[in-house]
Amino acid sequence: MLFASEPAREAEVRTRIEQALSESTLTSPDGIATHWRLLNAQPSTIRTSEAEHAEQLIQS
């Protein structure tokens, strides 16, 4: 997952994303539930294939 935030809020944003992903289920407005299992969450460097998307996030 790729996200952008102000440097001072990175830890807060990362924690909120990890908490949401740890819920492991999401029910859509039409009642269909999607389930998953979070295997790993850790910071990493931006991959070359993600660079354009990362730049778009920073600019928005």
pTM over 0.85: no
Whether the predicted pLDDT of 60 surpasses 90: no
Task: Say whether 27 sits in a helix, a strand or coil.
Answer: strand
The yes-or-no verdict on residue 33 having pLDDT over 90 is yes
The confidence score (pLDDT) of residue 27 equals 95
Question: How far from each other are the two terminal CA atoms of the chain, in whole angstroms?
Answer: 17
Q: Quick one: pLDDT at residue 1?
A: 84
- Give mean pLDDT, residues 34-56: 93
Average confidence (pLDDT) over 29-39: 95
